[in-house]
Amino acid sequence: INPLHALFAAEPRHFSPYSPSSRAWLNWLYIDITAVPGFAEDSATQALATAAPIAAACAGEFVDYPAVAALKRPVLEALFRRFQVRESDDPLRLAFQEFQLAGGAALADFAVFEALHEHFTTQGMPFSWHAWPEAMRDARSADVAEFARGHADRVDFFEWLQWEADRQLAAAAARGRESGLSLGLYRDLAVGVDPHGADAWADQELIVPGVTIGAPPDPLSRAGQNWGLAPLNPVMLRRRGFAPLVAALRANMRHASILRIDHVMGLQRLYCIPAGMPATAGAYVSYPFGDVLRLVALESQRNKCAIIGEDLGTVPEGFRETMHAANALSYRVFVFERRGDVSFVPPGDYPELAAASAATHDLATLKGFWLGRDIEWRQALGAYPDEAAAATEIAERRRDRHLILEALAAEGLLPVERFGEFLADDVPAYTAELGEAIHVFLARSRSRLMLVQLEDAAGEIEQANLPGTSDSHPNWRRRLSIQLEELLDGSDMARLSARIGAERRREPPKTNSE
């Protein structure tokens, strides 16, 4: 599951799950309104969720987050009003009060921010809390406390949304366990928070001002990347005994059995870019890696939650070995796993402590990679410094197609005499059979986990996110070309699941050293 972090309730156009307002709380848009207590008995509330606007919101090529928010918000507000008149000893009322008590000041701060952000946004003020009246920029000011008292009902509403989201997430986890989902939910922790959001507002001394997190130039992003996220202050983090980091880990291990830490190298260092400067002008800031990693391991044990470190991109020397020693799983993506001669690593040479995947949301899908769709996007957006750089990548991709077929043939998954079907006259052709063969290849690996993207199972050509872009690519808005239920119940998925399952149950292959 991509990060479930809270975004901005008052601004649904801000929808990247990796640019959260808060990493401690949940995105209210994921609430199933039909599962909220009271919906089934309230015909007036049901009337708000009419079929026509729902159909209109679902009809577009891309997900329309503002339309979804506009549909859900009035229904949830009506259900909250219904909730408020429950008796004081009602079990749900008592459960909400327990949630508020457990959430404490952190939950209250988040809800007050949501109410303030809504208040100022409806007045036409800029998106960021930095533009609010000075007294409102300080979460501990008397003016903020007075606002919270005067808008207590609204603050309660935003706390109730968090309770309902958490209640439904717990129910989803329980249903998974009851259905035999032995691994449980697999959640995701973003590397940072939006500097204009709730976490940055509520705890400003923890955030380094004037810089944002990104990545230096690499072959996929030759100009580097600026993710626009606020880094934590390593000095303040240590001074507080790493309590904010522990809180973020616990919040995201909740109801989960696996937690992926995005850009896990951030436990050791973060690439920070001064405001107004290009990504090439950044520098690395070090964090107390040993202390942080020990805390991650401790919380993993306490919460019975395995850790997958997304260790792609520029990885410090020795980092993977240190993570391996801590029993954290590495992330191994098929297209990146190469030998010195750039041929593909065979399944038997994948590390055991790893999650093997064909792709990620930041990379081309299998079909997109095979057909060069990612290269087409970079060309269209002018991401290459010159035509020679684009030509080099096109030539490398042509080579990679042949290498993929050779890797599959070496595993007996595709006979050599059939190569021409996929590269007739060197023109690539992609089929579901080719994608299935690559997944079976990965299923044979020694890695403890093997991941399948829905986009790859559905044969999508477009990727979910194109790093380094915002409005120029429809990041996080693409729909699957097939209804999810139809995909999961289809014969193609059944066959793919059966083949993967059969391979995963086999004795793992021996490494070349064995």
Dihedrals phi, psi of 188, to nearest 5 degrees = -140, 135
Report pLDDT digits (tens) over 291-343. 999 999 999 999 999 999 999 989 999 999 999 999 999 999 999 999 999 99
Transcribe 191-254 into DSSP letters.
S-B-TTSHHHHHTGGGBPTTEEEEE--BTTBTT-EEEEEBPB-HHHHHHTTTHHHHHHHHHHHT
DSSP 3-state of 277: coil
**Enclosing domain of residue 132:** 1-181
DSSP 3-state of 80: helix
Dist CA 383 CA 379 (whole Å): 6
Q: b/e map of 124-145 (b: 16 or more CB within 10 Å)?
A: eeebbbeebeeebbebeeeebe
Q: Are 382 and 376 spatial neighbours (Cβ–Cβ below 8 Å)?
A: no
Dist CA 242 CA 359 (whole Å): 33
Dist CA 149 CA 155 (whole Å): 9
Q: Write down the pLDDT at residue 510.
A: 64
Q: How many CB atoms lie within 10 A of CB 180?
A: 6
Tell whether 266 is covered by a domain: no
Q: Write down the pLDDT at residue 514.
A: 53
Tell whether 115 is covered by a domain: yes
Pick from 134, 160, 165: nearest CA to 30: 165
| Total domains, the chain | 1
Dist CA 198 CA 139 (whole Å): 10
Tell whether 62 is covered by a domain: yes
Report pLDDT digits (tens) over 118-153. 999 999 999 999 999 999 999 999 999 999 999 999
Tell whether 258 is covered by a domain: no
Dist CA 297 CA 113 (whole Å): 32
Report pLDDT digits (tens) over 162-188. 999 999 999 999 999 999 998 999 999
Taking the model in full, what pTM does it have?
0.94
Name residue 283's beta-bridge partners. 272
Dist CA 70 CA 65 (whole Å): 9
Strands 5-6 and 449-451: unpaired
> Is the per-residue pLDDT at 222 higher than 80?
no
Tell whether 314 is covered by a domain: no
Tell whether 11 is covered by a domain: yes
Tell whether 82 is covered by a domain: yes
Tell whether 71 is covered by a domain: yes
